[in-house]
Amino acid sequence: MELTGAQALLESLKHEGVDIIFGYPGGVVLPLYDAMFSDKRIKHVLVRHEQGAAHAADGYARATGKVGVCLATSGPGATNLTTGIANAHMDSIPMIAITGQVATSLLGRDSFQEADVTGLTMPISKHNYLIKKAADLPQTIKEAFYVARSGRPGPVVIDIPKDVFTSKIDYKYPDKVDIPSYKPRTEGHPKQIALAVKAIQAAKKPVIYAGGGVIAANAAGELKELAEKCNIPVTTTLMGIGAFPETSELSLGMLGMHGTAYANYAVTDSDLLIAIGARFDDRVTGHIAKFAPNAKIIHLDIDPAEIGKNVRVDIPIVGDVKKVLRALLDKIGPKEKHVQWVEQIDDWKKKYPLSYKKDSQLKPQYIIEQTYEMTKDRDTIIATEVGQNQMWAAMFYKYTKARSFISSGGLGTMGFGLPAANGAQFGRPDALVIDFAGDGSIQMNIQELTTAVNHKLPIKIFVLNNSFLGMVRQWQELIYDKHYSHTQLCNNPDLVKIAEAYGAAGFRVTKPEEVRGALEQAFAINDRPVLIDFVIAKEENVFPFVPPGQPINEMIID
């Protein structure tokens, strides 16, 4: 059948199972928006900033496991997507970013709203395309989704000139993809798996270190089975939160700079570290030469480039996490219970629990604990902004399911949480979606409240308001002798009034005894977003804290 390039793009997206696009229109993408006016099979969500579109697509992908799709026009529209593209790239999130481009006859002429999107996004995407012929659209879309989903997931950028949207083609969607230079290995090498089995059986003090790759591979069930079968404690990265139930006695919580003391001590003292879908980033390892100094390391990852990149690895296994874990489980028998090791970890847990000073001030940890108590039996997704709010949410809420924690890890993007929460709510409309935010980060993309209001998204935004850029201030306190240089947020706006101006519900909490009532009130509102401005202790810090460059077992605990 004969279709325009714009119609062919929509038809191709439907073939890939796309049901929603987050976008913002502009001149060169008007042919595509005109096609969407007639063809409403794919829902379009109008955001209020292109960065919000990228983060919403990212949040949708994290919450559902599907590929998120965002759309922007040429020039500044495309460049506004780049922070969100880089964010998805750092955290290995499958996403398709479609950008409009000036007509092919105007390329390279510094035309109005022209930007070199392929050049800009090459280092921050898994792959990118500039389509110069409408006939190439179907095959390119097929390849792009395959690349985004397969192997180590990631964002793929498709830049489409205006005349490609309007050209007509004889449309046929391909039924397969064959990219000779791209063949991700999914099956682990049998010899390496045998070596891993032998190492696990010989270990006296093993620890599993699980990252976001476990969630990406939908392998949380296999991880739990391995941990319980071999009685091995599990610690997770920030991106791995939810991959292993934190209510389990084997859970060590998160490790690293703001990890639990017992996770950091266990990793440091271990004789076998089983890294699964993790990349040994600096926030996890601290002083890298002193990271797990006595441990043999098994590293299981689908991306061979990550193995050996940051730490020495004794047993590398390249393959799909789910398949390799299943192969391990099929070959390994139940292990002795590591009684002394488990007792040592239990002793650390009793001696160094996650705690905070309880007094008359409103503490963020208390707010998160109460949120957990009131939502633990519901299908709940926690999104976060970046900073202290993010770390407190990671530490004081107990996560038991994969895809229940959505946060910017590698890039640390302020302004991520609100649009990501919107995307998560679109993807999982029956879930309770909560965004923990700081008063600094919420203002980065606060315009996305309009998106939530227009679509009656019942997201809850809990602002932990300390009138500071909290995490930066904490570093200034602990490392720079309390030189609070430009981190105090003077003349902060009234966030409750802002929420109400957008059409959301808003109220303020200043005392601990008001918390549960406010949460009950927020959870009862289901026809619009709710923002609660929690006015918390101004100089509350996140502990434990490993100072930069120090080994992870040398923490400031409180």
Active site residue ranges = 50, 112-113, 162, 471
Alpha helices (runs of H) in 91-211, residue ranges in sequence order: 117-121, 137-149, 162-166, 190-202
DSSP-derived secondary structure letter, 468: B
Query: What is the pairing mode between strands 168-170 and 2-4?
Result: antiparallel
How much of the chain is helix, strand and coil, in % rounded to 5? Answer: 40, 20, 40
Closest of 80, 125, 130 to residue 101, by C-alpha: 130
Strand order in the sheet with 315-318: 251-254, 234-236, 206-210, 272-276, 296-301, 315-318
Amino acid at 320: D
Provide the 10 A C-beta neighbour count for residue 245: 17
Provide the 10 A C-beta neighbour count for residue 362: 22
Gap between the Cα atoms of 309 and 365, Å rounded: 36
Burial of 66 (0-12, 13-18, 19+ CB in 10 A): middle
What distances in angstroms separate CA 503 from CA 433, 450, 456, 528, 535, one per listed residue? Answer: 18, 8, 10, 8, 22
Gap between the Cα atoms of 72 and 81, Å rounded: 7
Using DSSP, state whether 304 is helix, strand or coil: helix
Name the E strands within 247-403: 251-254, 272-276, 296-301, 315-318, 380-384
Whether 292 contacts 270, CB under 8 Å: yes
Those residues with Cβ within 8 angstroms of residue 357's Cβ, 6 or more apart along the chain or in another chain: 363, 558
Angle between helices 339-351 and 261-269 (to 10 degrees): 150
